Chains A and B, each alone.
Chain A
């Protein structure tokens, strides 16, 4: 249940780029033998602490709440329900994974 009410707290991003080249087996028995393992010329793994972003945005949200409340009244939108729905969207995005791979690059993003 805990995982369903909190927004994503961090994200992992893997970016691999450059033409794929055949990797070499590191075993002493078969040194130099090319395999089909994926090896990229450039690879980076990022761990993004999204909770810091939420902490930064929280004061801004509190400041913006009165303005949003007035706007919601003017446009006939149910304010608290909208706020709850937006928070639900954020919380629901936990576990999202996107992976795109082509011969030139591979990008993987996961929200935790």
Chain B
């Protein structure tokens, strides 16, 4: 039983809500597409810029998560010597990241973390928004 259902049932048991209200809330929880169980399918990048010379330009890109997964899996085929060189270059730039840690086991966990990703850049002429859906 998830937390939302337990909370609603607790409220019902404590006579804080009526049975009809509990039923309505339970239905809402079950139908919530944005719940924790919903799987993200796409990474969306929206760019809205207003260039003084070229005029307003809109860019709308939808990248499937499956493509990101496949892209990350490509790191698995990098030869060992090249991996060491990549790690050394990352360390040189001050990035403490080891590409040997990118394995199928933790790939899903990495992608799951993207659920909370939302990048909003807003300045005078350009708006950029990156999010998962």
Contacts and interface: CB of A to CB of B under 8 A. Distances in A.
Interface of B: 41-42, 54-64, 66-71, 73-74, 76-77, 79-81
The CB with the most chain A CB atoms within 10 A, among B42, B55, B66, B73, is that of: B66
B70 A85 contact: yes
B67 A93 contact: yes
Q: Name A's interface SS.
A: mixed
Given A99-B61, A101-B58, A103-B55, A76 B70 contact: no
Contacts, number: 73
Contact of B63 (A78, A96, A100): A96
Interface of A: 4, 75-78, 81-82, 85, 88-89, 91-104
Nearest to A109: B61
Given A85-B70, A88-B73, A76 B63 contact: no
A63 B37 CA distance: 45
